[in-house]
Structure 1
Amino acid sequence: MNINQVREQLHRLIDEVDDIYVLNGLYRNLVADKRQREEYERDQAEKAERSKTRSARRKD
Structure 2
Amino acid sequence: MERIRTISEIPFEVSILVKNNFKYQELSERAKRLRRLGMSYRQIGRALGVDGKVAKKACRFGR
For the aligned pair, the TM-score class normalised by the smaller chain equals 0.3 to 0.5
TM value normalised by structure 2: 0.31
Which of these two proteins has the greater Rg computed from alpha carbons?
A: 1
Higher relative helix content: 1
